[in-house]
Amino acid sequence: MPWSTARAALERVLSTPASDVSIDLSGGEPLLNSATLRRAVRFVETYRAAPALVRTTVTTNGTRLTARLLSFLFEHGLTVRISFDGVPAAQRERGGDTFRTLDRLLDRLRTRDPADFARHVTIHMTVLGSTISWLADGVEYLLAKGVRRIEVGSRSTFDPDFRASSRGELDRQVDRILLLSVEHWRRTGEIPVVFLAGPPLQRAGAPVRDLLCAAPIGRALGVDTEGRAWGCALFASSLRSLPPWAAEAARALDLGGISAPSFPRRLAALPRRAGTLRIFTDRLAKRSSYGACAECRFVADCHVCPAAICHIPGNCDPDLVPDFICAFNYVTLAARERFDEMTGGEVSAAWCGEMKAALARLEAVVKELSAGTAARPTGGPERDHA
Ligand code: SF4
């Protein structure tokens, strides 16, 4: 992405009135263009003088992370999210022969910059139908490496390798992760596996949001390398080949050029265009082969990506959830529930405490900004320190 495009995108995002903005610099591989990445990071800092309100993440395969670049990213407070599936067999399925490179990288980071490693590094594991049986080994390996934040997600498109028999194996793997995590928590007081550390689960009968995600309301914008914006990057037809059925959703989410004068108007019209497409709505009408979401005890906490619905081969039913996503969500939410029970409710209590503290901090910053005692956004062409 050329710098002029990156800057236009950042200006748009940073000039929103939102008090809390998350920016994810991802690809492809964003480190292939580290010059633009560096300029973007400096620009964000300069544009908003209240960096606590802007969280920037770079998502990378990790193979191009040099010591200099890492120092830069840590120094500027970025989260470095490395896609890494743990043990060599699982990593080979997705990332070629990169296990040794990433294994050495984690060792180097932990030894040289232990504080930055703990604070800024997240490992993102993607489970495929073909790698389920290595999932717990992967988490065990990352815990042993001292990783403090481990995200685990299922493949977001359809996975032909997930079969009826895969569910039992997924259950066993998540069970093992649960036991490893309880043991780890007792030893260290930490919960690195993100799906276990989330907010307390909603009670049965809690209200369920009708929308599946933030894409149709313009709260999850993606921008491609040409500067074209989308309600969600997963529907960007310029970035990936989409199944024919996704075309209608992609058209609705297409916001055109990020710096075009018509952009604000198209963004304002987005909920009207996309918010009525059934693929994004009617959460309670969704179902998988395992059952109806309306009857599932986890429906208020379960996140289903509409893009995954489009990728089911031959599917024309906007309410049909891929079985892999349903199974993954169910077993991980059930594990979170059990983790909380096994730790005597301390985890959800701690989570609530942390959230309250974070909200109080946010309120204080917003108050300062409104009173003019903290610096306001100062961005603009002349502030570009590139
Ligand atoms: S776990 Fe499955 S059945 Fe339950 S709400 Fe999620 S997708 Fe629906």
304 within domain boundaries? yes
Same domain, 130 and 54: yes
Provide the CA 195 distance to its chain's centre, in angstroms.
12
Q: What domain range includes position 297?
A: 215-321
What pLDDT, in 10s, does the model give residues 205-262?
A: 889 999 999 999 988 999 998 899 999 988 988 877 788 778 889 999 999 999 999 9
Same domain, 178 and 267: no
**Ligand 1 geometric centre to CA of 26 (Å):** 28
List pocket residues of ligand 1, CB cut-off 6 Å: 286, 288, 290-291, 293, 296, 298-299, 302, 304, 321, 326, 329-330
* Among the listed residues 352, 300, 298, the one whose alpha carbon sits nearest the alpha carbon of residue 329: 298
Same domain, 19 and 144: yes
Structure tokens at 215: 């894409």
How far apart (Å, rounded) are the C-alpha atoms in residues 331 and 170? Answer: 8
* Among the listed residues 256, 262, 264, the one whose alpha carbon sits nearest the alpha carbon of residue 223: 256
Total domains in the chain come to 2
* Among the listed residues 13, 53, 55, the one whose alpha carbon sits nearest the alpha carbon of residue 366: 53
Give the Cα-Cα-Cα angle 226, 59, 274 (nearest 5 degrees). Answer: 55
Closest residue by Cα to atom 3, ligand 1, is 293
Structure tokens at 97: 């022969």
**Ligand 1 geometric centre to CA of 136 (Å):** 22
Q: Is this structure's pTM higher than 0.75? A: yes
Same domain, 272 and 151: no
Closest residue by Cα to atom 8, ligand 1, is 293
What pLDDT, in 10s, does the model give residues 97-129?
A: 899 999 999 999 999 889 999 999 999 999 999
Same domain, 7 and 115: yes
How far apart (Å, rounded) are the C-alpha atoms in residues 332 and 345? Answer: 17
Length of the chain as a residue count: 386
DSSP 377: P
Which SS3 state, helix, strand or coil, does residue 257 take?
strand
